[in-house]
Amino acid sequence: MITNFFEGMGAYVLLMTKVFRRPDRWRLFMRSLVQEIRLLGLDSISIVVILSVFMGAVVTIQTAFQLSDDPLIPTYYIAMATRESITLEFSPTVVSLILAGKVGSNIASSLGTMRVSEQIDALEIMGVNSASFLILPKVVALILFNPVLIIMSLFLGLWGGAMAGDLLGLVPFQESIMGYRLEYIVFENAIYGLIKATAFAFIIGSVSAYSGYSVKGGAVEVGIASTNAVVRSCLAIILANYLLTDLILTS
């Protein structure tokens, strides 16, 4: 099992050295990039919207529940704590995990299908670097668009939190806004989330692509690869989240 893991890592790194090459034809690259942004990015907006609003609401309710025992804590502190949770962890990490499920399985199954139906061999025989041609647009699309999704999620999460706080009578809307603004440090709250968003985007794209691209066999193996893509991406995201949090907060 251990040797399997290291063999897999080796194959993954080798694949990435093939992926990050200058595209043969920029025009074709740009065309695929636009397609992938639509498929992997724009099509994920609705799920991110729903997820973020409810996530924000739940975080506010939880935080309010924890802090409401002590009458000395002003209610806008609830909002401040909610902001920290959402911007630092929930939006970048949870949204990326959900995207790993949606986008990761999509990438792995489409590349896996191309592999078993010999479309990848067809590209190679023509003399096309199939790894770069197929995978680079996907990874770049995710790296460009995931931060956009995360920023969106961040605002929607905060809005959802404020709405829930107001509707349930926990925190008045105005106080939430006030709390959100309190001691706001741009670097920690925004840049930090964006660094994570970018790193996770790379993980989702490259790990799922590896799973799909290296399929051998038929339709059954494509299904397995698609599951593997999600599991591996999620594990890698969780591990990277730990490392990044440690690295950024201690430096």
Partner 1 sequence: MIQAKGIEKSFGENQVLKGINVDFIQGQTNLIIGRSGSGKTVLLKIILGLFEPDQGTIHYGDEVLGEMAKVRRKTLRQEIGMVFQGGALFDSMTVAENIRFPLEMFAAMTEHEKDERVNFVMDRVRLEGAADKFPSEISGGMQKRVAIGRAISMNPKYLFCDEPNSGLDPETAIVIDQLIQELTHEFNMTTIVNTHDMNSVLEIGDHVIFVKEGHKVWEGTNSEVLGSTNADVEEYVFKSKLFKQVRQAFRK
Provide the binding-site residues for partner 1, judged by CB under 8 A: 24-25, 27-28, 113, 117-119, 121-122, 124-128
Q: CB 39 → partner 1: shortest distance, Å?
A: 10
Minimum separation from the CB atom of position 185 to partner 1 (A)? 45
Place of tokens 């023509």: 126
Measured from the CB atom, the residue of 64 and 103 that comes closer to partner 1 is 103
Residue 127 zone, left/alpha/beta (φ > 0; ψ -120 to 50; rest): left
- For partner 1, the closer CB: 11 or 125: 125
Q: Specify the residue, 119 or 198, whose C-beta has the smaller distance to partner 1.
A: 119
Contact of 149 with 99, CB cutoff 8 Å: yes
CB of 216 to partner 1, least distance (A): 14
Smallest distance, partner 1 to C-beta of residue 37, A: 15
Q: Assign 3-class secondary structure to 131-200.
A: HHHHHHHHHHHHHHHHHHHHHHHHHHHHHHHHHHHHHCCCCCHHHHHHHHHCCCCHHHHHHHHHHHHHHH
Tokens for 221, please give them: 């193996």
Q: Which is nearer to partner 1, 84 or 124 (CB)?
A: 124
Question: Scanning the structure block, which residue is given the tokens 């599951």?
Answer: 227
Q: Give me the least distance between CB of 106 and partner 1, in Å please.
A: 13
The answer to whether the Cα torsion of 32, 227, 87, 174 is positive or negative is positive
Q: CA distances (Å), 122 to each of 15, 51, 128, 138, 180, in order? A: 18, 40, 9, 20, 54
Smallest gap from Cβ 205 to partner 1, in A, equals 18
Q: Which is nearer to partner 1, 83 or 115 (CB)?
A: 115
What minimum distance in Å lies between the beta carbon of 7 and partner 1?
A: 18
Nearest Cα neighbor of 214 from 224, 204, 203 is 224
| 122 vs 247, beta carbon nearer partner 1 | 122
Q: Which is nearer to partner 1, 71 or 127 (CB)?
A: 127
Radius of gyration of the chain (CA): 21
